[in-house]
Structure formats: C-alpha cells, structure tokens
Amino acid sequence: MRSYKSLNDVVGWLVFAIATLTYLLTLEPTASFWDCGEFIACSYKLLVPHPPGAPTFLLLGRIFSLFSFGDVTKVSVLVNALSALSSSFTVLFLFWSITMLAKKLVLHRPVAGHTVPGTPEPTQGQTLLILGAGVVGALSFAFSDSFWFNAVEGEVYAMSSLCTAAVVWIMLKWENRAHEVDSDKWLILIAYVIGLSIGVHLLNLLAVPALAFIYYYRRTQNPTTMGGVITLAVSLVIVGLILAGIIPGLPTLAGSFEVFFVNIAGLPFNSGIIIFLVLFIGLLWFGFRYSFSKKSRLVNTAMLSLVFILIGYTSYLIIPIRSSYHPTINENNPEDVLSFVSYLKREQYGDRPLLYGPQFNARPIRYEDGAPRYVREGDKYVVAEKRQNIVYDDADKMLLPRIYSPQPEHLYNYQKWVDVREGVKPTMGQNLSFLFRYQMGHQFWRYFLWNYVGRESDIQQSGGLWPWNAGKAGLPERVAESPARNNFFAIPLILGLIGLFFHARRDSRNAFIVGLLFVFTGLAIVVYLNQPPIEPRERDYTFTGATYAFAIWIGLSVLGIAELLRKVLQADTARAIAASAIGLLAPAILVAQGWNDHDRSDRYNSVDSAKNLLNSLQPNAIVFTNGDNDTFPLWYAQEVEGVRTDVRVAVLSYLNTDWYIEQMRRRAYESQPLPISMPADRYKQGTNDYLPYAENPAVQEVNLKQFVDLVKQNSDLLKVSYGEGQPSMMSFPTRKFYLDVDTAAVEKLGLIPADRRKQLVSRMEWDMGKGAIEKKNLVILDMLATNNWKRPIYFSSTVAGSDFMNLQPYFQLEGMAYRVLPLKDPNYEPRSSDEGYVNKDLMFENMMKKFAFRNLNKPGIFYDENNLRFPANYRDKFARLANAYLAAGDKAKAKQVLDKAFEVMPDATIPYDYYSPQLVPALVTVGDQARAQDIMDKMTGRAQVALAYYQTHNPALFDIESQTYLMGLQGVYRAAEQVGDQARATKALELLQQYYPRQ
C-alpha cells in the first residue's frame, strides 16, 4: 500500500477532479444576471467596476480571457471557469484541512496539534478512515447549494472562498511544522494571501480570529481563559487594522499628505504622495532594523507579514492606473489618490449603524459638514463637495440599532417581524427580536438550512425544507415542480452534528477553532451587515464561509460513525469502509438533488435579453436603463462581444453623479458624446442634485429650452430658499413643460413612419408632476432640448414609469425600448399599461427576425425568478405587436406573431403566470380560443392553489408572492371580460375579492 502522504495527495486531487468536472459541466456559458456581466467585461479589458473593485479577480480574469484567442464568445466561459477552478481548489484545500484534523484525532495526537517527533504512519484502516472523512466533507461542501451557485458564474465569491480555504490550510500546515526553524514562512504566506484576498473580497479577513487561536494553542503550553480572551482581542485588532488602517487608512493618509504639500507647501501634484511613500518606507526600514537589533523573531515576522500584506494589496494599483486612461467603464472615476479613497470606502453607498446609532424614526437636529471631496483645479486641490452628515438627537439613539431604516417600505417590512409603530421608538427587546428573528433567523439560518437540510423552492424568501414538510399536497405548482425544491432529509445536518459532538469531545480546542470560523463567517457577518428588512435578492452567497466550516464537521462525522460502529465491526478497515459509505450519503444526496437547479449549461437568457434590447435601437442611439440586471448584461454585450457599440447606454441612477455625466460627454467606440449642453459646474456634485417644484402662479408653462438655458446661467429666476440662512437652490416654477419642434427639420431627418405623418406635432407638451427634478431628469431634459432629434433617444421598457417624466404620449415602441419622438399617440391613455405607439413593421423586423430566444423553449432547463421575469417581457411585446396588427386589420400577421410567442416561450418552460393574459384577446380574435382558454384556466387554477397555500401555510410570503398571482388574476379578469367569457371573468373576480382585502 502507498504511504499515507501519497494517498492523501492522490485522493485530494481526485476530489478536485470531481469538483472541477461538476462545475465545468454545469457552468453558465454566458454572463449571468447581477454583477457577472460587469465583472466579465471589466476582466476582459481591465476596466473599473463598482466600488470597492476586485483587482485580483480582474487580473486573473484577464489572464483567463486571453485563452479565448480572439473568439470573444468564449471570454464569458473562461472567466466563469476561473470561478469553477477557484471553487475546485477550495474543495481541495478543504479536503486536506479535514484530513489534517482527522489524522490528529485518529492517531490520538496531543490536543492543539503539538507535533510529536516520530509520529507513526496511519495503518491501512486508519488511512481509509482519514481519507473517507476528507472525501465526505469536501464533496458535501462542493455540492452545497450556495457554494455551487457561486462556482458556475463569473463573480468574486468563489475566489473569496478559495482565499479563506487557503489560509486555513496554510495555518494547519504551519501548526504541523511550528517546531521547524523556518516555520514562520507559512505565516508570511498567509499574510500574502490575505493581501491578495483584499483585491477579491473582504470576507477572508473573518478567518483571522480562528487562525489566531491556532497560533495561540500551538505556541502556548498551558492555555488559559484570559489568554484566549487576549488572543481574540488581538485578532480583532488585527482585523480592524487591516480593514480600517491598511485598506482605506494608508490611502487616506497619503491623500492628506498630498493636499497639504500641494495646497499649503505649493509643491506640484503627486509631491505629497512621494513624500508619504518615502516616509512610510523609512518607517518599514526602521521596523526591520529594530527587529534585527533586538533579535526579535516576533517583530521581524510581524514586519514581514505587514510587507507581504501590502505586496498583495498592491493589486489595487490597477484601479487608479486604469481609471486615469478614462476607460469606457470607469465607475466613480478613481484616477487620483483622493477619489481612490472615496472608491475604497464605498462612500456612494452610505453606511449603516453598527454598535450605536439612530433608530428608524430618529429626529435629525442638524447637519454637519463631513469629509470634503477634492478635485484638481488649476495647480491646487479645491473642495468640490462637502458631504452632509445628519446629527440625531441622542435620545433617539441606542445600542445595537437594528431597526434603523427610515424608508417607508422598510417600516412596512419591519412590522412583519416585530411590532413597531411609526413615531414610537423601538425598544431594545424589539431590536434584538429583529436581529434574532430576521437578520439571524431569516437571513442566515434559513440559508444554512438550504445547504444542509433542503430548500423549499427558488422563490424569493422561500424557506428550508424539512423532511416532515416535504410533501407536495396543496403546494403551488411553481413550488412543487421547481427543480430548486431539494430535500436532503437533513442527512448532511445530522452528520455535521455528529462530527461536531465527536470533535468537541476528542479535541475541544480545534473544535472551538472550527466553531469560531463558523461564527465569524456566519453570524458575525449578520451583525456587521445589519441588513434592512427586505433585500432585492437572496444574499446566501455571503455566508459560504460558515457552510465551509460546517463541512469540516460533516467530514469528521465519518470518525464519529466509525467509533459508534466499533462494537459491531472490530476490523479497522471494514469499519472505515462502512463509516465512509454512510458518510457518502451526504454528498450523494446533495449532488442528486442539486444538479438540475445548478445546471446552467444551456442558459443564454441574460445576454440574449441584452442583445435584443440593443438590437431594438436605431443606429447611434442613446438608451436609458436601470441598474444591475438592466445594465450589466448590456455592458458585457458591448465590451466583450462588440454588439452595437454605436449605442450609448446611460444608467439612470449613475446620471445623478458628476463623474458619470462627464464620462457620457466623451466618445465611446462608435458612439459620439451625449448631447449635454450644461457646463460641468452646473452638474458637479452638490449642484442641482435636485430641483424642487416651487409653484409660481405667474408662470403657466415653461419652454424646455429656455428652462435649460436658465439652469445653465444659474438664473435667479429659478432660485428659491427654504429658510433663513439656507442656501438658495434652483427649482421649476410650473408643472407644464413644452418643447417647440421644427417640423420641417424633423421631416428631413426621415424619422416619421408613413402611418404617423399626421401625428407630428409642432409643440410637445407634458406635465412634470409635483415631485423634484433629479439631476438625471435634468440631464435627460437637457438632451431633449439640445439633441434636435438628431440622435435616437430611448427608454428601456424595464425602466420604472416614474422616470418617464410623463413623456409616454410621445413614446414609440420598436422592440424592447420606447423611443421618444415628436409624434403624439392619439390613442394614449394615461392609466393604461400599454405605453408607446407600436411601430409595427420595425417591431416585427426586430422581434421576428433579429431577436434571439436561445433555449427558452427547451425542456429541462431551470430558470429561476430573474430568468423567468425577463423573458416574460417578450410576451407583453408580442401581445402589443399582435394587437397593433389586428387594429390594422391584418389577422395573418397577428397570428404569425402569436405563434412565434408560443413557439419560443411555451408554458412548459416559461409559465403563463408572467404577462400572458395580454395575449388572450388577440388569440380569440384570430380564432385560437383553445389556447386563450388554456392560458386563463391555467393561470386561474395556479393562482387559486397558490393564494390558498400562502395564506394558510406561509403567511410571511403571502404579501410577496400574492402580488404575482393577484396581478395575473386581474389580467385574466380583464381579458375574459374583453372577450365576453363571463364564466372565467367571474371566477377570477371571486378569487380577487377573496384575497385582495389582505393587501
């Protein structure tokens, strides 16, 4: 038989191969939704993503992308494969970590891992037992829900897990070699990995307390409680020094030097940074000299560790370097040390109270100037903006504020978990109740159960699935038939608890270390994040460190089971085989249940939706989008695959910032700068952030071009003040806006479809409403006034109606976007959801010939909520197009459109529950009553079951999930009424009346 070391290596690499094969077979072939499109695009061209960036990930992603050898369609697969391999190596390091811990237990080595020279090799039975533990634990983690999800997409969390696994493994290696003269090299390697991990994600830092206890127990002959407290305190100080002292602290200090030596000493730009670097390097030199003079190994190791953390941290230099070249994606424009500090601190996202702060209805008593934001002007740095910090009454502050968000929708969701009332200060008991029930219970333990007990479905807010509630009787079809409905029968959980108890009994110190890792990468994150009562998506990917730690105990359960089998099976080898076989039930059921909902190998929806939107637009267009899922796939399509680079994508939320507006005024690929006429001083941060409505009875209406000119001139005619001593601000005096149109010039541009010539207006008129004009709205108004219809301007159809500024009467639907034209839709109704006049021929060309719907009709592919809602928008547009042809008397074309809608998205893959009632009237008109009735019957039947289930079995989800079904029933009712199907209309109405009062 081979030596233990040889077998440990071979089996480890075999586990690695299994994980790698699994992830590559289930890998998404394109850019997933959320941040993946942005990260893949930024990796491919080393662009600047959203703060705080991920430069280590970007650099490695760039290296992987080079293997595409010019085939840009392979870039996304390669960057996704980086996550797959990162995950595989995580599994490999976990295997070796488990076998190290298991070997100590099997050989009964002294606690805390004190190495005894001449420790005997494990016997054959012991070797099988140790390796079995490693295989069971590593593969259980490899096939766990959250980790597998991260492994098959181009995001940072897989690589973050790798950093955590690597430092734990390296620390255990150090523990076994701590008696060697050069053992500290392993500690320095950990420091370097931590430095690199800063350029991936900060989650890795939470492993430091566990590492500190490994060090303490190994270096201390007689550990004490006080020593443990001191060790924990020191480890938290180390985390704090890295988190606040090194990451933002050093750049902040460098920025202060820069401002002082440029503004006060009169030196040229970058002089302060050079002086800071010289002084800092001098301090490092002094530290090393001190360690040599005192012959202090501890100080020398600490200094080397600091230096190697900084070496790893230097990956961040790519951010300001690339930003200074003004790339096409350059979020926050961190091109100098001062803007770089703001970027690192993620200042654009604000902050949340952690240990002490205001509760949700705290009363602001004043505003104080916060840290200034500097920009270069001439040969000095000048203050561009002073951020305002709200100061609250001390009586409205409390320790550990959990109920803190003043947003109205958050108050409604707080009340689902605790009995809080508007205007009444929450008690400490209510805060703690929210912490334990929602933040820990719903946002951590629920996710934990997903991984090792089971998962009810993929629906947002769905819970875990215990064996005793796994039956499908009475379940909504969307839940019962979901591939994400996974029942593990709690086998991994039970095994993990066996491993935990066995580990705690045999080696309490190492069990404590693993427990510490579990707590800090799980519950401690919950406390630190202080999550609001509702999130835009599930956040389980944040807590894979905790599931990693628990997987160690799942592996060690093999040892515990073997101990239980000792009386039954005397032979070590037989006992090891039996225990391993029982333990392998965990990864076996995890992979069997999880494969179908983690297999993304045939999903192309996110990128196809982006390409379809871009291909909806005319040449040299401008399109306004929302953030994340609306935008990042578009960035990927343009930056990586080069799709429609003549189009300028403008993100509405970013248009509220000066750095983004400045970028929009530059050329990008084939796209000319946006037609923004305002000078930079009119949209700099702190200027015209929003313009309130201040009614002036003398002004009945305002000319848009004159209004924009007055804003550019900073005219006193638009200024208002809201109190003595308060600065004046620009406003708008009336809700009525108009824009004169040069009809002759518009006709020459050839913008008008033949059937809309009579709809051309010489004056566009609209009502801005009483809300404020935000900077983004001001920029759009500026472009409308300046563009003179030379460039097509669109809103994505997924943009919120509140951002349309009531311009809908002038919208033209051409695919997945609304074009703004000086043509007034004669049939527009303000309360109708059918916005935009349908340009039939252009929309037919786009949707029937240009659009891609890859695999949306292929059975067996798992589409989660995002992948269901996005393609469902196509149904709405197919219905609009079919109805437009019917209105024109062309039933043949309408039927062709309807057939296409069902061909590319049948109910079997994209359920009718999303945007299907709109198709019913058109289907009846073309004579396809059977299909129309099938839609109404299926939607009504599903709604009836789902609403009854959520009301009686899962009230917490009722308010969320009922919306989909109630809106569907409303659609069915209107459609049935429209086609004269009173029986189906009555049934839908009765269900609405039964459940709607709960809203």
Q: What is the mean pLDDT of residues 631-652?
A: 97
Contact call for residues 134 and 11 (beta carbons, < 8 A)? yes
How is residue 796 written in tokens? Answer: 């994505």
Question: Residue 111 has what pLDDT?
Answer: 43
Q: What is the pLDDT of residue 833?
A: 74
pLDDT of 115: 45
pLDDT of residue 392: 87
Kindly write down the DSSP assignment for every residue of 633-686, as one continuous string.
HHHHHHHTT-TTTTSEEEETTGGGSHHHHHHHTS-BTTBPPP---S-GGGTSTT
Q: What is the mean pLDDT of residues 838-864?
A: 94
- Residue 825 pLDDT: 92
Q: Is residue 237 over pLDDT 90?
A: yes
Contact, 318 vs 58, CB < 8 A?
yes
Q: CA angle, 83 as apex, 77 and 85 as ends, to 5°? A: 95
Q: Which three-class secondary structure string do you get for 477-525?
A: HHHHCCCCCEECCCHHHHHHHHHHHHHHHHCHHHHHHHHHHHHHCCHHH
Q: In sequence order, what are the residues at sequence separation of 6 or more whose Cβ sits closer than 8 angstroms to the Cβ of residue 664?
A: 648, 650, 655, 673, 674, 676, 779
With a cut of 80, say whether residue 385 has pLDDT above it: no
pLDDT at residue number 999: 41
- Which of 549, 520, 512 is closest to 228 using CA atoms? 512
Contacts of 899 (CB under 8 A, 6+ apart): none
Residues 126, 106: contact at Cβ < 8 Å?
A: yes
Average pLDDT over residues 561-577: 93
Band of the pLDDT at 362, cuts 50, 70, 90? confident
Calculate mean pLDDT across residues 553-562.
Answer: 97
With 0.85 as the threshold, say if the pTM is over it. Answer: yes
Axis crossing angle, helix 585-598 with helix 124-142, rounded to the nearest 10 = 20
pLDDT > 70: percent of the chain: 97
Q: Quick one: pLDDT at residue 724?
A: 66
- As a whole number, mean pLDDT of residues 729-733 equals 93
Q: What is the mean pLDDT of residues 388-408?
A: 86
Q: What are phi and psi of 76, to 5 degrees?
A: -65, -40
Beta-carbon contacts of residue 420 (< 8 Å; ≥ 6 apart): 360, 403, 411, 414, 426, 430
The pLDDT, as a whole number, for residue 903 is 96
Answer yes or no: are the C-beta atoms of 189 and 171 closer than 8 Å. no
Name which residue leads in pLDDT, 635 or 266.
Answer: 635
Please determine, for residue 468, whether its predicted confidence score (pLDDT) is greater than 80: no
Running DSSP on this structure, what letter comes out for residue 352?
-
> How many other CB atoms are found less than 10 A from the CB of residue 994?
13
Measured CA to CA, the distance from residue 401 to residue 487 in angstroms comes to 36
* Segment 771-794 mean pLDDT: 95
Residue 284 phi, psi dihedral angles, 5° rounding:
-60, -45
Both tokens of 663, joined, read 């970028």
CA distance 157 to 718: 49
Local confidence band at 16 (pLDDT 50, 70, 90 cut-offs): very high
Q: Is the pLDDT confidence value at 717 over 60?
A: yes
Angstrom distance (rounded) from CA 874 to CA 603: 17
Place of tokens 């999880």: 594
For 368, phi then psi, to 5°, come to -120, 145
Say what the pLDDT of residue 725 is. Answer: 61
CB of 312 closer than 8 Å to CB of 193: yes
Interval 147-198: pLDDT, tens: 999 999 999 999 999 999 999 999 999 999 998 889 999 999 999 999 999 9
Query: How far is it, in rounded angstroms, from Cα 609 to Cα 614?
Result: 9
Residue 915: per-residue pLDDT: 82
pLDDT at 956 (0 to 100):
61
Indicate whether 567 pLDDT > 60: yes
Task: Determine contact, residues 752/719, Cβ cutoff 8 Å.
Answer: no
Q: How much is the pLDDT for 475? A: 86
pLDDT of residue 113 exceeding 80, the answer is no
pLDDT at residue 954 in the model = 66
Burial class (CB in 10 A: 0-12, 13-18, 19+), 105: buried
Which tens digits make up the pLDDT trace of 766-776?
Answer: 999 888 999 99
| pLDDT score for 957 | 64
pLDDT in tens, 264-293: 998 999 999 999 999 999 999 999 999 999
The pLDDT assigned to 473 comes to: 76
